Structure 1
């Protein structure tokens, strides 16, 4: 009884080799970029992790020796009450507030741009991009000048109406006012990215969707939550994750403000604390442990947020 002949062994092997070559081709094209990323990102990260397991200071730098202490740096770090009562709350609360305000303000500006005429849209977009292009160092010094206790615009205005006595008011010594100024600084520098990104995404929404909702009697608020937000959810996810990463590792905006360089320990965050431990006290192992903790915190938050978005996408 005749049987169907299967594919020839030689032809099958040739097909498998061709499939493997097709699968490997994208990786070969990406190999140079991946090699550069490995050198610039993965090796420094691995070096920081290795240092976090060592008692590494000036002596080790001079001698080139390694003094591995295991998890001692992490035990000291996690057992330090200063981490739990000051540094970690400063880092987390500040970042959460900045991310929320940045995304909300950026979205409002994007919605405003969609309603402006061509000329005013160009003017507003230029102003927004100028704020984004301002270096963090320059922007920080501008906000320091605005809130200068003696010569600042805010202190001068409040003094004019008799609300404060400038010589008795220093906005940078109090923990809450310090971070309020830092929040204004970070949000001012970060909202343009959200505004331009969301505005570009708004242009991709078909006009038929909001027009149909308007005919059905939906108000502006309902159209935003029922049409705009679900449609732009991936865009909001991207800007939120990126803003979270940026705001958790804020350094210049804290370090350059009066007291943020360690003179006022009550305002330290994880990034500045790691820098001061490493380069201020020459305890590079302890500073590396703080940096690893910050990285793990960012990974947990980012992965958790991505999983929530993926779960919502599956449910829909």
Structure 2
């Protein structure tokens, strides 16, 4: 039986009006964000596109002077990926250094946050001020401080060990060996990064009701069990945020490596992807090759971040499942 057109007629305009209203509600946030997104597109998106385009070119001083483009396809990527220096030195330096820094930063920051939770108001204020000073210190200044601390001739560490008769300062240079170089760089990065984790985790700890750890204590849970089975699941999103941010920051560390003796290219054994990209671009004027290295660093960072976020999301979903 055919529908009555007199009944179907008014429903169509109402449906169209409902769709327009729904579209307006959905688009309103994007319209409000449009100015900020436009600024980000100019400041961030276009430079990324430019770096990607340069990575497919043989781009040097001649191309800068003439403005010409010399596309060579994937030649830069083939050269980089076929270079044993990437696989034996640069990539292990980048990944190993970042993984160590992220782990130590989160662990030290969490321990400091737990300490702040137990301190009284006065000592908490003093300790918070002290660690915030470490966070406020510029990376360049902090790097030169650590260089002075480990200076082979006049540094605090060399002088102290020399006084104990353990080393000969004139024969010991902490910056020439790959392992000691990155040990100093790790101390620098962790010292500069743990205050952010400490303050963030401490703020998250304040959101946990006091009744929960008290009840766990009554049930016989020790400090480690309360932390692992109660604190960590409760503030897991905070740990995810600080870990992701630490991954992003530590994978693209530049100043802390470049400014240390030998880190600007004099000692190739200590180069990471960020410094290698800079040296290829601005020291050797191979801007296409340097851009390709920067693209590989970005892809590596995105891959690690995505894998970590998916793993945590999957773990969170399994924990919420009945």
**In which range does the TM-score fall when normalised by the shorter chain?**
over 0.9
Which residue, 21, 26, 29 being the options, matches 1:23? 26
Which residue, 187, 203, 206 being the options, matches 1:203? 206
Confirm or deny that 1:248 pairs with 2:251.
yes
Task: Tell me how far apart the structure 2 counterparts of residues 2 and 15 of structure 1 sit (CA, whole Å).
Answer: 25
Task: Tell me how far apart the structure 2 counterparts of residues 13 and 90 of structure 1 sit (CA, whole Å).
Answer: 59
- State the 1:102 CA deviation: 0.2
The alignment partner of 1:55 has SS state of coil
Aligned ranges 1:25-104 → 2 under 5 Å: 25-104=28-107
Task: Tell me how far apart the structure 2 counterparts of residues 2 and 97 of structure 1 sit (CA, whole Å).
Answer: 73
How many residue pairs align between the two structures? 316
- State the 1:181 CA deviation: 0.2
- State the 1:313 CA deviation: 1.5
Task: Tell me how far apart the structure 2 counterparts of residues 109 and 3 of structure 1 sit (CA, whole Å).
Answer: 72
Task: Tell me how far apart the structure 1 counterparts of residues 159 and 26 of structure 2 sit (CA, whole Å).
Answer: 66
Match of 2:263 in 1: 260
Match of 1:307 in 2: 310
Match of 1:110 in 2: 113
Task: Tell me how far apart the structure 2 counterparts of residues 157 and 89 of structure 1 sit (CA, whole Å).
Answer: 32
The alignment partner of 1:65 has SS state of coil
Confirm or deny that 1:298 pairs with 2:301.
yes
- State the 1:2 CA deviation: 12
Alignment gaps of 5+ in structure 1 = none
Match of 1:149 in 2: 152
Alignment gaps of 5+ in structure 2 = none
The alignment partner of 2:262 has SS state of coil
Give the TM-score normalised by the residue count of structure 1.
Answer: 0.98
Match of 1:170 in 2: 173
- State the 1:314 CA deviation: 1.5
Match of 2:283 in 1: 280
Give the CA RMSD over aligned residues. Answer: 1.3
Match of 1:222 in 2: 225
Task: Tell me how far apart the structure 2 counterparts of residues 8 and 224 of structure 1 sit (CA, whole Å).
Answer: 59
Q: Could you list the structure 1 runs, at least 4 aligned residues long, displaced by more than 6 angstroms after superposition.
A: 1-4
The alignment partner of 1:66 has SS state of coil
Give the TM-score normalised by the residue count of structure 2.
Answer: 0.96
- State the 1:12 CA deviation: 1.6
Task: Tell me how far apart the structure 2 counterparts of residues 12 and 196 of structure 1 sit (CA, whole Å).
Answer: 51
- State the 1:3 CA deviation: 8.0
